[in-house]
Chains A and B, each alone.
Chain A
Amino acid sequence: MEVFELEGTRYTPKVVFDVKNKVFEISGDSRPEDTHTFYQVLIDWLSGLNNASVQGDFKFKFAFDYLNSSSSKFIFKLIKCLKGLESNGINFSIDWFYDEPDIDMKELGEEYTELADIKINMISVEV
């Protein structure tokens, strides 16, 4: 339960969920062939934290270079899952990284803040 990792590919993001070291990160390009299956595995793993006696404050970093519209739907689902964990004492502080000229990526992060009613720290990266 403590560590879940996926190497990034040209089509799927790198994923690191590490409870012990408090590292949670999804980064890179996201346009999986089967978006539902790819993200449902991540959502199920995160939901499982509820049953693993995990508690505390964690950071969750999103740093996408690109994500397609289908992925954006499942990221929203994942963020809602993170919010749902709060009631069990698992608190995520979410960082949304975007390349400074990429206004669309910035706006997507802001939309998640509004839609999921959750605080997301917007962090611009110079390119």
Chain B
Amino acid sequence: MEEFDNQSLFNLHRSIIKENMEFLYKGNITVAVVNVLLQIVKNKFSEFKIDYSLQKKIYNIAVECLENVSDHGIPGSDIDSIFLIGKVDGVFFIGTGNIINKNVTNSLVSSLNKINTLDRDGLKSIYKETMTEQLGSNSNDVGLGLIDIALKANNKIDYKINPVNDAQDFFFISS
């Protein structure tokens, strides 16, 4: 087993602080892990010292982000998913990253680009439209969750795509 020296640990800790990370998880994001992570998020609220309304928003966004990964990610992938909560200049951000198949990337990018052009009224309108349209669908649709994230965050959803191989991308979103 390769040795992990104290200097590496020190550097890692320093990076986490420098990047304004309040909480960081790397590993599989299964339904069981989602439940544990959400409990940790709830426990963190007293540490964050934030009001009830912001607690609800952070919790909402964390649920939608994590459920997107557990519902639409690729289980058993060699590359771990990540989930993080950070804070820059007093503003919280939440992000997830996971492996997806390239054939999903285009539709996800197209949904995100559409969502990011909309103001609050536009988002509310498309949320209602999507909810009505999806009445006949029984799946946990990704569209509604993304619109919900943008609405709760009151902000654009940032995304980055890192190609992993010919068939898969690592997709990171944050808001």
Contacts and interface: CB of A to CB of B under 8 A. Distances in A.
A binds B: yes
Interface of A: 10-11, 31, 33, 35-36, 66, 68-70, 72-73, 76-77, 99, 101-105, 107, 111, 114-115, 127
Contact of B135 (A33, A77, A99): A77
Contact of B60 (A11, A66, A73): A66
Contacts, number: 65
A101 B135 contact: no
Interface stretch (B13-21, B84-92, B143-151): B143-151
Nearest to B31: A33
Given A33-B31, A70-B145, A115 B132 contact: yes
A26 to B, nearest CB: 17
B53 A103 contact: yes
Interface of B: 31, 35, 51-53, 56-57, 59-60, 63-64, 67, 124, 127-128, 131-132, 134-135, 138-141, 144-145, 147-148, 151-152
Which label, helix, strand, loop or mixed, suits the secondary structure of the A interface? helix
Contacts of A72: 131, 144, 148
28 contacts: A11-B35, A31-B67, A33-B31, A35-B140, A66-B59, A66-B60, A66-B63, A68-B63, A68-B145, A68-B148, A69-B144, A69-B145, A69-B147, A70-B67, A70-B141, A70-B144, A72-B148, A73-B131, A73-B134, A73-B144, A76-B132, A76-B135, A77-B135, A101-B52, A102-B56, A104-B151, A111-B127, A115-B131
